[in-house]
Structure formats: structure tokens, C-alpha cells
Amino acid sequence: MMKNFGSPLKIGVISDTHGLLRPAVFDVFKDVDHILHAGDVCSDAILRELKTIAPVAAVKGNSDYTPGCRQLPLFDVVKIGPAEIFLHHGHSEDFDFMPSGTNIVVSGHTHLPRVELFGGILRVNPGSAGPRRPSSPVSVAIITIYNRARSASIIELPTD
């Protein structure tokens, strides 16, 4: 769903759920226009639940072996408003390329949240939203697009 002209677009970004969708995700993503899942979904039910919030694009990660998840593409180019987003999990060296027109890259895999602007391209890794790991926070990201301006923020989720 596109908002009226002049309104910012909000994209919820999630990765590495590993079969766990925390209730806090519903609160953080309640106003998003689209959701991107950067792989290691590990449960078809997670994608169905996320689709109750907003349209979802998802890619396969290195742990996606369930029947519905193993059919996900390894990468996708998602066009949302003026953004052309290259979505992949980040586990394969086969993606040592960038599709023409890309202005945002979303990946997961490392479980470490990161937002950086590199060569005019916004790169976002939301971290891991799944089971807690001692070396990284539990987090998601929100990308905001306003006309041609792009920004992203990392949001830590409660783990209790």
C-alpha cells in the first residue's frame, strides 16, 4: 500500500528469526508499509504472521530447510516507492554484484545490526530477531524513505 504523496514510506526489516517471531515485532512494525525478511526464517508460519501486518518480501537463508522456506529466492530486487532494494541473506559469495539501480542493500546472516551509507548506497543489517545470542542484541530495523532521502534505524527488542 502506498501512502499519499509527500508521506514517508516505512519499511520493517527483519532477519534471522530462526522460527521465533517475538510479539514486540507486531508493535514495532504496526505502521510499516512493507516488510523485508532477509532470511533464516525457518518457519512458514512466520511469513504468514508478518503478512497480517503488511506485504512481505523474503529470501532464503542458509538455515531455511522447511518446505515453504526452501522455495524462497536466494535474492530479490524489491521496488518500493523510489527505492530499489537488493535483498539477500548475506551467506553466499555468489552475490558479489549489485543490480543496476540499487540504492539500498538489505542482508542478514551475521546477527549483528548495522546501518551504513557506503558509496551513496544505504546498507542495512537488522541483526537477529530470533533466539537470543550472547554476542548480539535481538533487533529489527526500520527504513524510512521520504522522496529520495533514505535512512534506517535499529530497534532492540525486549527478550523477556
pLDDT in tens, the chain (160 residues): 444 456 899 999 999 999 999 999 999 999 999 999 999 999 999 999 999 999 999 999 999 999 889 999 999 999 998 999 999 998 766 556 678 888 999 999 999 999 999 888 999 999 999 999 888 999 999 999 998 889 999 999 998 7
3 state SS of 151: strand
Is residue 118, in this structure, part of any structural domain at all? yes
Give the per-residue pLDDT at 152: 97
Asked whether 117 and 150 are in contact (CB, 8 A), the reply is no
Give the per-residue pLDDT at 17: 97
Is residue 110, in this structure, part of any structural domain at all? yes
Could you tell me the three cell numbers for 70? 526452501
Q: How far apart (Å, rounded) are the C-alpha atoms in residues 110 and 114?
A: 10
Nearest alpha carbon to residue 37 among 53, 22, 50, 27: 50
Is residue 113, in this structure, part of any structural domain at all? yes
Is residue 2, in this structure, part of any structural domain at all? no
3 state SS of 10: strand
**Structural domain that includes position 19:** 9-156
Asked whether 60 and 73 are in contact (CB, 8 A), the reply is yes
Q: What's the DSSP call for residue 93?
A: G
Give the per-residue pLDDT at 3: 47
- Per DSSP bridges, beta strands 121-125 and 149-156 are unpaired
Give the per-residue pLDDT at 116: 95
Is residue 4, in this structure, part of any structural domain at all? no
Q: How far apart (Å, rounded) are the C-alpha atoms in residues 89 and 86?
A: 10
Q: How far apart (Å, rounded) are the C-alpha atoms in residues 73 and 87?
A: 10
Three-state SS for 103-150 is CEEECCCCCCCEEEEECCEEEEECCECCCCECCECEEEEEEEEECCEE
Total domain count, the chain: 1
Is residue 21, in this structure, part of any structural domain at all? yes
| pTM for the model | 0.93
Q: How far apart (Å, rounded) are the C-alpha atoms in residues 156 and 26?
A: 13
Place of cell 501486518: 53
Give the per-residue pLDDT at 150: 93
Is residue 96, in this structure, part of any structural domain at all? yes
Say which CATH number the domain at 96 has: 3.60.21.10
